[in-house]
């Protein structure tokens, strides 16, 4: 990944997401990225998660590759329904979102020709 800001996740999310990513490696497009993100995340107790940091099941408005997505919920794969505003943490976008806070951006390679995806969190709303 080309631009990786500091991220924070709760202990509960961290443990569940590592297990989920390991189980989905080679099957889900965002599993390897999610595992990388969890390996570099700062892990805190749920009560210590700062306001404005995106955790599982929170809602978020974000810009992705020049388009704004409003009021999406970050969910586990079995609850995902993009048309209904629920994005799986096992997609590349979902893996990029977890642990980001309001105003943070992240970039990652889009293709072998050097292109990159860019995502910026606009607003996090806790569940």
The whole-number pLDDT of residue 1 equals: 44
pLDDT score at 73: 97
What are the structural domain ranges in the chain?
A: 8-125
Give the whole-angstrom CA distance, residue 18 versus residue 37. Answer: 9
What's the CATH code, domain 8-125?
3.10.50.30
Average pLDDT for residues 11-37, to the nearest whole number? Answer: 95
54-95: pLDDT as tens digits: 999 999 999 999 999 999 999 999 999 999 999 999 999 999
Q: Which two tokens stand for residue 31?
A: 């599993």
């Amino acid at each position: 990944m080309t631009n990786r800001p500091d991220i924070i996740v709760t202990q509960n999310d961290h443990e569940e997401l590592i297990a989920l990513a390991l189980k989905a490696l080679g099957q889900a497009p965002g599993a390897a990225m999610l595992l990388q993100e969890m390996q570099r995340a700062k892990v805190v107790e749920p009560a210590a998660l700062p306001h404005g940091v995106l955790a599982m099941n929170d809602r978020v408005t974000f810009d992705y590759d020049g388009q704004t997505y409003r009021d999406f919920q970050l969910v586990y794969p079995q609850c995902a329904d993009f048309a209904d505003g629920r994005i799986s943490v096992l997609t590349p976008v979902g893996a990029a979102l977890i642990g980001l806070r309001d105003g943070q951006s992240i970039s990652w390679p889009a293709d072998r020709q050097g292109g990159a995806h860019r995502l910026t969190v606009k607003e996090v709303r806790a569940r």
